[in-house]
Structure 1
Amino acid sequence: MNISQQILFFLSALGAFNGLVLGIYILYNKRKSIPFLLLGILLLAISIRVAKSVFIYFNPQLPKIYLQVGLSACFLIGPSLYYFFRAAMGRVAAIPANWKREWGVLLGLLVVGGAVFPYQTCPNLWNHFVARLIYLVWAAYIVATGVLLWSTLKTFLVNRSALNATEQFWLWVYGSNCLLYVVYLLALLRYIYGIYIGGGIAFSSILYLTIFFFVKGGKMDQLLTAPELASFNKPEKKKIADNDARAWAEKLGQAIMDKALYKDPNLKLSDLARAINIPAHQLSQLLNDNLGKSFSTYINEYRINEACKLIATKEHLTFEAIGYEVGYNSKSTFYTAFKKVTDTTPALFKENAMKTTD
């Protein structure tokens, strides 16, 4: 290799090497959570895929087993990305049984399929069918992840300043994976000559930009135990920053009104947390510490506010029907909540409302 090729090899291989190191560090970190376990697997899968593309670019005669390992790792990138976000957004503290079964199927396909149809003896099968199937699976998981992040993506398009640090990190991870997928898909389809090595360069750039933005001024283990993503089992002791609190409160109110979530009599704190993509313990902290309200008080205010509108405009509805309409399971619960929020009864409220209109 000449000097320019050596520099290109160094830059592209460096990201793969450091990705492997970081992925292994995450996997063996004693304080890792389920999301970061999956993030470590994602980093390892991408790093192995990138390393394969770098070495085959500079050594086309690379033994077939390395090509098979690289493509096999590529098969795990999409699932790792998708389940990372499911774990992070769902505050998963233990891997569910159905996840283990799904991963067992994926790994079984890799091991059994690779053993029965190895790249060494079936290169045409891998090049013309398996590789395309792998990229199709990768694309499917990217789309599924986009669905999970839909509300966050909409917020980014409308008002990116409303995103908190966690959501910024999520979008960075998702966008980086989309970019890598596009680069390698173009290489697979041979649309752009020489773009194959671009995957390694892109990954190196993404990895170091990630370190710059999220680890600058702190240690790596601080990133891996960041309260937004890792410490799901430990409630925050510090009050949420005012900017984040305002942004989350605005998103929460918008989600509740747009989807009329308060009408669900079985509504739980975790349901609201998923609606704005934050851990349930942080939503609880937002309500209690920043807004000074319990979950039930917060929801009751929405329900009673809607009930007041119905009482004033829907004279034919009974109080019991209105209570059910706004999310209460019983008349007594509705009356109690109404009295607590408005300091009056539904009947007195209706009487005053009728006098005002007269």
Structure 2
Amino acid sequence: MVFIPFKDYRQLYKTTIFPIINAQWFVYIIISSFFIKSNYENSLRFKWQITVTIAVLIIWAYFTFISFEYFVGGSIIFSTIFYLSFLFFLINKKISSKVFEKRKVIKNINISKETEKSIEQLISYMVSEKPYKNPDLKLADVAQNLDISSHELSKLINENLQISFTEFINKYRVEEAKLLITTKSNYTIEGIGNISGFNSKSAFYKAFKIHTGTTPSKYESKISSLL
């Protein structure tokens, strides 16, 4: 706009510059649609991203195929879509919190080499021994195997990983359940929950939805449709 002012090169903008911009815009829309697949675990966010992509595609189509004299219509369409989306989330605050996940603010923590080593030992123990598969697993059990006190382990997880012991264990249990579902095991959904370390169906469904945004059954259906 500085070197090729619109008012002096209207025809050039109509025939060359705008088509180039629209072509680039369309490429971005296509590329972004592939990234939506990475959020299929959260069904609500997945649907929201598809909706946004379609909305952007509608705006792109208007600017691409409508006569230059009616460009103002694109702004009207954009405003309509934007305010409808705004009102939807304003009315559904709970849904909004699920789509736009609030991330915990993690303070800058200077982790000592000793603490870093303890975290590595903890993770190594979780991966190799899989103690989380025990539904009665307690903080003291893990602390004993790592040869530290329960207080030290609790502090290690809370201060450095920013989560509680229960959340920490449930993350591993959910990942185990996801692995079993993905590998098409012969277990029922409830059986997968038990094998992963959950002591009840309700606890399994609750933790699974917290960490993935969907239920085990829906997650299984989506995995099956992708394979």
Q: TM-score, normalised by structure 1?
A: 0.32
Q: TM-score, normalised by structure 2?
A: 0.50
